[in-house]
């Protein structure tokens, strides 16, 4: 199969973790004899430095031509006080919107060999295995009006949380389809006791659920969900929620998995006329300026994102399972980066990438 993949290393540790993810992708492509066509482009802070824009036109063009895009992370401290249009994160938001990837899938699994890395008690996290499905192209992060205005003596900031029925329906269907292939349970998370937006969300998700009678649906308020994720994570199979709630809740998943560096994500849109699913794959973590350039970032979130790409964009389930199994094997072997090994000699980012390739065989 021809795998036409665009790589956007981005900023900070994004560069280091995508290098290892690409190593694993090349290895898997060679092992299963796929024809891998890789291209690379600029996104985020590095793109601002080199072109003046966080999302250059050339990057957009290459992303729209690729079958799948692998992204590292964006964000550089020197842009922390820059206006929104000139921030690295704007490039990522623009890319997600341009690709129309409206469903962000964030698998959270407590790996048996890493239970001690979680600050939670082993008996709470053991067996936790869920996918957080976050709506990605709507809600507060995109709604208008938005901005900061000066009105006489007062300064006002406005953001708008907006969803349409069709935006909710399409992401809900992704969640229910995923549930059908798993434990057949969707928990829809909202704030319907306060927000009209969430009332529409709850109503539409309930209607979509009727199309999937084999899947059980329950609803949970986001504040309670934040608590239940920690108290009883095993109760969740698919967690379906809107953009900002999903952004926040999925970082809690890092506590269950042991480190944010472990978490992969897949952002899926509609099918291309060719039949391929549009997909953007990236680890959940950011650019981690505190450890950038030190060869100590955990690349397993980025490598797990390659597994997700093989499965969702290319339908290569055997290859995807082999990469996931290799990640498990490396975790069990103890060859892990410092975030998973508070004492003893940790492996480097590069050594973990090499170990995953060796485990694939």
CB-neighbour burial class of residue 177 (10 A; exposed 0-12, middle 13-18, buried 19+): middle
Contact characters 6-45, ligand NAD, x per CB under 6 A: -------x---x----------------------------
Closest CA to 134 of 181, 167, 160, 109: 167
Is residue 46 part of the contact set for ligand NAD (CB under 6 A)?
A: no
Q: Is 238 helix (H, G, I), strand (E, B) or coil?
A: strand
> Which C-beta is closer to ligand NAD: that of 55 or that of 168?
55
CA atoms within 13 A on the CB side of 265: 30
70 touches ligand NAD (CB under 6 A): no
- The yes-or-no answer on residue 214 being catalytic is no
The one among 67, 167, 319, 339 contacting ligand NAD by CB under 6 A: 339
Candidate list 54, 91, 246, 261; residue touching ligand NAD; CB under 6 A: 261
Residue 253 near ligand NAD by CB under 6 A: no
CB of 72 to ligand NAD, least distance (A): 7
Does residue 141 carry a catalytic annotation? yes
Supply 192's token pair.
């319907």
- How far is the CA of 112 from the CAs of 97, 116, 289, 328, in angstroms? 36, 9, 29, 9
Of 263, 306, 280, 350, residue with least CA distance to 32 = 306
**C-alpha dihedral sign at 230, 259, 286, 314:** negative
Smallest distance from the beta carbon of 339 to ligand NAD, in angstroms?
Answer: 4
Q: Mark whether 281 is an active-site residue.
A: no
Using CB under 6 A as the binding criterion, the count of chain residues that bind ligand NAD stands at 22
* Binder of ligand NAD out of 1, 32, 39, 89 (CB under 6 A): 89
Residue 32 DSSP symbol: T
What is each CA distance from 343 to 257, 347, 350, in whole angstroms? 18, 12, 19
User: What are the distances in angstroms from CA 175 to CA 122, 138, 167, 169?
Assistant: 28, 16, 13, 10
Binding mask 281-300 for ligand NAD (x = CB under 6 A): -x--xxxxxxx-----xx--
Phi/psi of residue 265, nearest 5 degrees:
-150, 155
Please identify which residue in 6, 46, 92, 99 interacts with ligand NAD, judged by CB under 6 A: 92
Among the residue ranges 28-36, 72-80, 163-171, 319-327, the one whose residues contact ligand NAD (CB under 6 A): 72-80
> What are the CA-CA distances from residue 64 to residues 73, 97, 204, 281, 291 (Å)?
19, 12, 30, 14, 32
The residue from 90, 102, 191, 335 that is catalytic is 191
74 near ligand NAD, judged by CB under 6 A: yes
**Catalytic site includes residue 11:** no
Query: Is residue 247 among the annotated active site residues?
Result: yes
Closer by beta carbon to ligand NAD, 292 or else 310: 292
Chain contacts with ligand NAD (rule: CB under 6 A): 13, 17, 73-75, 89, 92, 259-261, 282, 285-291, 297-298, 301, 339
Q: Which residues are catalytic?
A: 141, 191, 223, 247, 251
């Amino acid at each position: 199969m021809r795998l036409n993949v665009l790589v956007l290393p981005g900023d900070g540790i994004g560069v280091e973790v995508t290098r290892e993810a690409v190593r694993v992708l090349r290895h898997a492509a060679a092992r299963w004899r796929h024809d891998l066509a890789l291209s690379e482009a600029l996104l985020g802070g590095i793109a601002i430095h080199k072109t003046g824009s966080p999302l250059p036109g050339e990057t957009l063009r290459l992303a729209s031509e690729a079958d799948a895009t692998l992204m590292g992370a964006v964000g550089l401290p020197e842009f922390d006080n820059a206006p929104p249009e000139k921030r690295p994160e704007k490039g990522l938001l623009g890319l997600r919107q341009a690709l129309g990837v409206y469903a962000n899938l964030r698998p959270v699994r407590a790996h048996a060999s890493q239970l001690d890395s979680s600050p939670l008690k082993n008996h709470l996290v053991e067996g936790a295995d869920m996918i957080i499905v976050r709506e990605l192209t709507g809600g507060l992060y995109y709604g208008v009006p938005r901005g900061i205005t000066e009105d006489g003596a007062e300064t006002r900031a406005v953001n708008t949380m907006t969803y349409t029925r069709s935006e909710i329906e399409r992401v809900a269907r992704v969640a229910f389809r995923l549930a059908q292939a798993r434990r057949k349970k969707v928990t829809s998370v909202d704030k319907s006791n306060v927000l009209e937006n969430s009332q529409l969300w709850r109503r539409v998700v309930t209607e979509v659920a009727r199309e999937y009678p084999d899947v059980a649906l329950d609803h949970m308020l986001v504040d309670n969900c934040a608590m239940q994720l920690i108290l009883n994570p095993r109760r969740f199979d698919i967690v379906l929620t809107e953009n900002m709630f999903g952004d926040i809740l999925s970082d809690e998943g890092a506590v269950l998995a042991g480190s944010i560096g472990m978490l992969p994500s897949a952002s899926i849109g509609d099918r291309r006329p060719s039949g391929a699913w549009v997909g953007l794959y990236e680890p959940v973590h950011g650019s981690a300026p505190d450890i950038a350039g030190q060869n100590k970032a955990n690349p397993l979130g980025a490598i797990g994102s390659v597994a997700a790409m093989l499965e969702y964009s290319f339908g290569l389930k055997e290859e995807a399972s082999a990469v996931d199994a290799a990640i498990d094997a490396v975790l069990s072997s103890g060859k892990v980066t410092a975030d998973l090994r508070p004492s003893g000699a940790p492996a480097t980012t590069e050594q973990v990438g090499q170990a995953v390739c060796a485990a694939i065989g």
